[in-house]
A and B are shown apart, each in its own frame.
Chain A
Amino acid sequence: MINILILKIKLTKQMLPVILIMTGMALLFIFIFGKGFSQTYQPIVSLVDEDHSEASQQMSERLMDTNQYIFNVEGLDVGIDKLEKGGVLMVIYIQSGFEESLDTEDIGMNIYIKSSAIEAVSLENKVNFIVTELANNRMFADNFAAGFEGSPITIKATDIYEDVVRLSDEYPANTVLTLKADNTEVAGYDSTKHYFAGFMVFFSLFTIMFGIGTIVDEKQNRVWARQLVGPISQFKMIIANLIGNFILGIAQLTTIVLVAKYAFDIEWGGSIIALLIVLAGFSLAGTALGLFIAGFMNTEQQLGAILPTLVVSTSMLGGCMWPLSIINNKVLLFLADLTPQRWAMQGVEKVIIGNGQIADVLQATGYLVIITVVFLALSIIPYTKMRLND
């Protein structure tokens, strides 16, 4: 097995151009998004408040807490005019009666958008989140007051609403806390970090998948068959290839992380170790997926045609190009769950956006390990078939 590992390392020279190009591409995009955009680009948003209520004020304050946008408080006509001329990303129009509408299903608020840019979608999600939170707080106050009906104590919901809001901020109630936990990506979403995490995962998967694709070359040249004739078991051959490629993948990802950190001053969030743990899981899962695919391919031409399509489509599906929070289709979300990129992105974002630690990436890494085991088990089918029905 060590013999095959040494061989794989020697053969890495063959792949050096691909590795260098993919690493360079990932670093280039990280540099562009990490340095070029993140510190200078803040979209401008028109905020129109016609309600002038406590709720609309809270809405405005919470939106402004997001440092990624510049909010101009102005009239609706001015805002729409700017939107049409491309001067603002979005107009958030809080209509008169907004506060009362929070008790109904018809919220008194309109959002005007011209582009479907990721920043606009992200802000729209945030607006929805805040509205839900405000509505929940009001509902909680109403229910609390209703609980005292018929008792000697009289409590009006409007009297305690302020306290509920204060308490929900200081000591978030379970419901709100759950919402925040489920919407980390939306609540504190940083699209530039999402982009460079996405590019890192996307480009490194190319190297990982093409790395394991050397098996197809070995099959084509009958080297694989020749190894099968020898005393090495096929299981050991597969595991050696898996380990060799895993090392290649994690080496590339570590290089990207370290070069980006020390050469471009990219902030990788809470814990580099946590980041590397999730990336190790991703390298393993990507390798297992590549192994499975390579089992069905007979020529490098076939692999060359299939792999880019597969990597690009699963990367789109898995959230490398845009956050999965903007997707509602359950089928797409289910398919996304099957891709290694989806869990890699979740883990990476927890670290670099949510300042997550090792414990925060264990779930994503666990899913990546499950994907590894599943694809490794499925790989038995093509490789066994290859041996017995060559």
Chain B
Amino acid sequence: MNLLTVTNLEKSYKKIKAVKGITFHVKQGEVLGLLGPNGAGKSTTISMIATLLKPDAGEVIYNGTDIVKNPKAIQENLGYVPQEIALYPMLSGKENLMFWGRAYGLKGNTLKKRIEEVSEIIGIADRLKDKVKTYSGGMKRRLNIGVALLHNPELIIMDEPTVGIDPQSRNHILDTVLKLNKQGMTVIYTSHYMEEVEFLCSRICIMDQGEIIAEGSKEELIKQIDGARDLKLRLENYDDTLLAKIEAHPSVVSIEKSDGDIIAKIKQDTQIIKDIVDMINEHGASIMSMDVEEPNLEAVFLQLTGRMLRD
């Protein structure tokens, strides 16, 4: 069942069209990833879903209600984790949680209980009384997420929640998101880190220049580029005739030299590796090393746009 349906959503800032009529949906209980480089339109898209921005055109239907016309329909059920650390640094972690909990109508024992639960989930229970300004970057990020969980929202939107933190905190956050999803929470997760999206998301929308250029599960997206993988070879006693012969193979997309290595982009084909090894042997060259890199979303993005995700 679709929890959220976005149709032909558009938003411009003066002459710049930040979002160009995108359409996608979010199923109940899934983690949907919005993957794209900086400036792809991810934050603008989720700001419109979070009712912070009014779209120029299009509709956002949440549980059957158009939230562009009726923002209140989503506000009480939405947890929003902005990219920035939107907390009061001069207050303690507990004071922050209390303020945001009350803002969502929690009070008394319910609020107290939720603060305890959430601080356990995000792993800051022992630092609750300290001022937020004394927290590490990772702890602030975790509290930033915790604030959005207090009212037990049906849908949580996370806008690049791991920017600028250490790997340990990042892993903690990713595990937390998975845990929340297992408990039934629907998540929209934006990032320009391919690994995070691959790890977390059951479905992914790849955005670039205000458009969704591909959508599906990781496997479906890779299929869209014929499962292309990189075959990395280090050879001795070879010349360009061998490379030309390899490139002529129907399952080889391209071949190039890079820092002494030969990188062949190859299609999903069980025979291809054996064929290439045979060609090398016939040519009399020696294989010093060979490595097959599995296809990933970076490859998908590269193939679709001709650019890297972090260009």
Contacts and interface: CB of A to CB of B under 8 A. Distances in A.
Interface of A: 3, 6-7, 10-11, 13-14, 221-223, 225-232, 387-390
A351 B120 CA distance: 59
Contacts of B82: 222, 225-226
Contacts of B87: 221, 223
Counting from the closest, the 4 A-B pairs by CB-CB distance are A3-B102, A222-B86, A222-B84, A226-B86
Nearest to A224: B86
A221 B96 CA distance: 14
Interface in B64-108: 72, 75-76, 78, 80, 82-91, 95, 99-100, 102-105
B267 interface: no
Given A3-B102, A11-B88, 9 more contacts: A3-B103, A7-B91, A221-B85, A221-B89, A222-B86, A225-B52, A230-B75, A231-B72, A390-B52
Given A13-B90, A221-B86, A223-B87, A228 B52 contact: yes
A388 B71 CA distance: 12
A387 B47 CA distance: 10
B105 A231 contact: yes
B88 A229 contact: no
A390 B86 CA distance: 15
A6 B90 CA distance: 14
A223 B88 contact: yes
Contacts of A227: 103
Main secondary structure of the interface of B (DSSP, over half): loop
B54 interface: yes
28 contacts: A3-B99, A3-B102, A3-B103, A7-B99, A11-B91, A13-B90, A221-B84, A222-B83, A222-B84, A223-B87, A225-B52, A225-B82, A226-B86, A227-B103, A228-B52, A229-B52, A229-B80, A230-B75, A230-B100, A230-B104, A231-B72, A231-B76, A232-B103, A387-B52, A388-B53, A389-B13, A389-B53, A390-B52
A10 B103 CA distance: 16
B54 A229 contact: no
B143 interface: no
A227 B86 CA distance: 10
A223 B96 CA distance: 11
A14 B50 CA distance: 30
B23 interface: no
A224 to B, nearest CB: 9
Nearest to B75: A231
Nearest to B147: A226
Most buried by B among A11, A13, A226, A232: A226
B51 interface: yes
A11 to B, nearest CB: 7
A232 to B, nearest CB: 6
Contacts of A231: 72, 75-76, 103-105
A388 B51 CA distance: 9
Nearest to A221: B86
A133 to B, nearest CB: 60
B54 A388 contact: yes
Contacts of A10: 91, 95
A7 B80 contact: no
B103 A230 contact: yes
Nearest to B95: A10
A362 to B, nearest CB: 38
Interface in B287-307: none
Residue of A6, A7, A387, A389 contacting most chain B CB atoms (<10 Å): A7
Nearest to A2: B102
Contacts of B103: 3, 227, 230-232
A260 to B, nearest CB: 31
A388 B105 CA distance: 24
Contacts of A223: 86-88
Given A10-B95, A230-B75, A388-B54, A225 B104 contact: no
Given A225-B52, A230-B75, A390-B52, A11 B90 contact: yes
Contacts of B100: 226, 230
Contacts of B84: 221-222
Contacts of A225: 52, 82, 86
Contacts of A228: 51-52
Contact of B78 (A13, A229, A232): A229
A387 B75 CA distance: 14
A223 B90 CA distance: 13
B90 A229 contact: no
B188 to A, nearest CB: 13
A229 B85 contact: no
A386 to B, nearest CB: 10
